[in-house]
């Protein structure tokens, strides 16, 4: 498979994207050939799907877009005509024709799909609360209603006769949604990202970065998503194999290509505001609009800070960080300044214009919330930046001077550097730093192992599960079990706690995979005064004195022979303490080089 990108020479904007699913020169298969046309403002006006062309009949299906004076999307339709002037038609895959209308403050007032118009209603009183929150949408088939709490969060809706209720936690995050009597609940981590989703029917999904673990009917299924540097999904691994997910406009999942010799291709098409065109062409993944998770049970798309409803082209809660760069963008419920073709809002916090240079310039003169910096603020910021620059230059100068002194000393004494390094390596600060790094290395190694084994496990039909086998073989002690049974001592047994702790426990358990400790000397040769002293100390104090951060930590050879701490280990063993569970520093003797003591 190969994907090619071409750009306009004058503007640098993308002009063509092609995807070859069989990239051999003998029999290439072109699964995608999209060609872009822009207006003078840089907005896309035409996207030609040349891969859908029928020789001698059409050049392919084209999506056409027009904008109003405020650069808001006014019309969007498909046509198989030679130009957009031909107007919409009903030919080609999943055709559509939409017209949009807005009020002066950026609220959608009408959406016409073909000949059917949906009219949006908002509070009309000047003193009404939540003036930008839609209260009803009137369609030819009936009227949908929406209700909100005092914070502007959607609490109830009735769409096409199906009632829905929504509850929110104190932090303003969606806690549960009940649609037609079917409840979906969510749990979030400390950073506010969604950690667990519990769907109707008993399926529970645990989100661990790019890894998803689905628990359903006692069976755990792993799914791993791989992303590019900009966060867009590029591939998905399941027990059945790898599938390439190729993004389209703004990262929305567009193509799915199976990593098999046949290279089966599926293509998903979205309407401008994120709703699918036609049916679900990628039922095996919930990564859709913007490459984000689409919750089938609620019809909402999870965009980190907020949930977005593509059915009504609006968020269901207000923007916690209003974007004040342009008045239209300050609407707390609208999506991407009502220009979903030219811009996006992948985090639910800030509109992404796609113009990195413009955004960087804006950031210099505005606060993160969009408010313009005052002249006083800019002067203070300039003064502060100048001070920081001066401090950095001073630190660099001091470092250069220290290096010059060190080089002069080395010229006079070639062993100076080695002696100085040895003294530093044995300092308490250096020991603490080594201990900290070893802990981080252990934890990171555990995460890498979990990540790696989730890439390869095949859960269906395995009993006990493959992950349990790996844990048993490698001696890992996870703070949870994926069948909701917390088996770590002292851990609560609630399912949320059990599933949450998978990322919070170190890898190897106490004593696992290490030889037992052995005394270097027989008991008769132990120092009597030292033995008498430590015999009078508390067990906790002795254990603390053996920790890697202590001045004289427990040090042992790889085979378990104790090189430091024999007396204390002997006393702990006599008291019945499990000395093999003590953390130990590996003894690594280093002989001095020739001339070291000269």
Domain locations in the chain as residue ranges: 375-425, 428-503, 523-586
Cβ atoms of 73 and 339 closer than 8 Å: yes
pLDDT of residue 445: 54
Lookup: tokens for 24? 């051999």
Q: Is the pTM of this model over 0.85?
A: no
CA distance 282 to 277: 12
Find the mean pLDDT for residues 178-195: 92
pLDDT for 307 equals: 96
Tell me the pLDDT tens digit for each residue of 359-388. 666 667 766 555 667 888 888 888 988 998
b/e 179-206 (16+ beta carbons within 10 angstroms → b) = beeeebbbbbeeeeebbbbbbbeeebbb
**Could you tell me the CA-to-CA distances from 282 to 60, 243, 245, 269, 576 in Å, in that order?**
22, 11, 10, 10, 60
Residue 281, both tokens: 């062409």
Start-to-end CA span in the chain (Å): 65
Residue 415 has pLDDT above 80, yes or no: no
**In this predicted structure, what is the pLDDT of residue 163?**
94
Three-state secondary-structure class, residue 537: coil
**Proportion of the chain above pLDDT 70, given as a percent:** 82
- Taking the C-alpha atoms of residue 493 and residue 267, their distance in angstroms, rounded to an integer, is 43
Helix 566-574 / helix 528-535 crossing angle, nearest 10 deg: 50
CB-based contacts of 523, cutoff 8 Å, min separation 6: 570
Name which of 531, 528, 515 is nearest 565 in CA terms: 531
Mean pLDDT of 78-88: 90
User: Residues 291-349: pLDDT tens digits?
Assistant: 889 999 999 999 989 999 999 999 999 998 887 778 888 899 999 999 999 899 988 88
In order of 403, 419, 427, 437, the CA distances from 423 in angstroms are: 18, 6, 6, 19
- Residue 306, CB half-sphere, CA atoms under 13 Å: how many? 25
Instruction: Give me 147's structure tokens.
Output: 């209700």
What pLDDT sits at residue 162?
Answer: 93
Highest-pLDDT range among 356-365, 482-491, 507-516: 356-365
Supply 116's token pair: 């059917």
Mean confidence (pLDDT) of the chain: 81
Pairing state of beta strands 2-7 and 293-295?
A: unpaired
């Amino acid at each position: 498979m190969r994907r090619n990108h071409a750009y306009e020479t004058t503007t640098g904007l993308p002009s063509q994207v092609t995807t070859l699913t069989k990239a051999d020169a003998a029999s290439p298969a072109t699964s995608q050939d999209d060609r872009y046309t822009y207006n003078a403002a840089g907005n896309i006006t035409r996207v030609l799907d040349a891969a859908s062309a029928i020789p001698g009949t059409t050049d392919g299906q084209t999506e056409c877009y027009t904008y109003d004076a405020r650069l808001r999307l006014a019309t969007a339709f498909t046509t198989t005509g030679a130009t957009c002037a031909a107007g919409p038609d009903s030919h080609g895959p999943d055709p559509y024709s939409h017209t949009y209308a807005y009020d002066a403050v950026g609220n959608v007032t009408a959406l016409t799909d073909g000949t059917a118009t949906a009219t949006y209603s908002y509070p009309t009183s000047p003193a009404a609360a939540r003036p930008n929150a839609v209260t009803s949408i009137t369609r030819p088939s009936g009227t949908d209603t929406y209700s909100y709490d005092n914070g502007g969060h959607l609490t109830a809706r009735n769409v096409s006769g199906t009632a829905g209720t929504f509850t929110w936690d104190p932090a303003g995050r969606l806690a549960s949604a009940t649609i037609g009597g079917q409840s979906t609940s969510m749990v979030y981590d400390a950073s506010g990202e969604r950690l667990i989703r519990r769907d109707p029917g008993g399926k529970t999904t645990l989100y661990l970065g790019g890894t998803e673990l689905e628990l359903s009917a006692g069976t755990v299924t792993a799914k791993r998503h791989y992303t590019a540097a900009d966060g867009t999904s590029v591939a998905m691994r399941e027990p059945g194999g790898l599938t390439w997910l190729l993004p389209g406009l703004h990262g929305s999942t567009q193509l799915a290509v199976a990593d098999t010799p046949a290279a089966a291709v599926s293509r998903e098409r979205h309407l401008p505001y994120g709703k699918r065109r036609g049916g679900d062409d990628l039922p095996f993944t919930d990564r859709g609009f913007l490459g984000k998770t689409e919750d089938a049970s609620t019809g909402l798309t999870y965009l980190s800070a907020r949930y977005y409803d593509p059915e009504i082209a609006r968020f269901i809660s207000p923007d916690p960080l209003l974007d004040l760069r342009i008045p239209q963008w300050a609407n707390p419920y609208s999506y991407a300044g009502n220009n979903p073709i030219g811009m996006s809002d992948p985090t639910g916090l800030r509109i992404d214009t796609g113009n990195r240079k413009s955004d960087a310039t804006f950031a210099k003169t505005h606060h993160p919330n969009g408010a313009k910096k005052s002249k006083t603020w800019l002067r203070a910021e300039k003064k502060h930046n100048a001070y920081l620059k001066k401090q950095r230059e001073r630190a660099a100068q001091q470092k250069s001077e220290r290096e010059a002194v060190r080089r002069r000393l080395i010229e006079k004494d070639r062993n100076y550097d080695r002696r100085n390094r040895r003294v530093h390596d044995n300092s308490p600060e250096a020991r603490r730093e080594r201990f900290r790094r070893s802990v981080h290395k252990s934890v990171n190694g555990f995460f890498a192992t979990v990540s790696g084994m989730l890439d390869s496990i095949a859960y269906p039909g395995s009993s006990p599960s493959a992950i349990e086998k790996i844990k048993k073989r490698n001696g890992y002690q996870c703070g949870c079990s994926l069948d909701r049974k917390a088996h770590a001592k002292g851990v609560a047994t609630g399912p949320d706690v059990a599933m949450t702790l998978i990322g919070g426990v170190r890898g190897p358990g106490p004593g696992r995979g290490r030889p037992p400790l052995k005394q270097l000397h027989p008991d008769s040769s132990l120092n009597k005064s030292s033995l008498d002293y430590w015999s009078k100390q508390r067990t906790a104090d002795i254990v603390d004195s053996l920790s890697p951060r202590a001045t004289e930590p427990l040090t042992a050879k790889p085979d378990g022979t104790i090189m430091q701490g024999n007396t204390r280990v002997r006393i702990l063993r006599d008291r019945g303490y499990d000395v093999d569970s003590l953390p130990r520093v590996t003894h690594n003797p280093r002989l001095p080089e020739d001339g070291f003591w000269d």
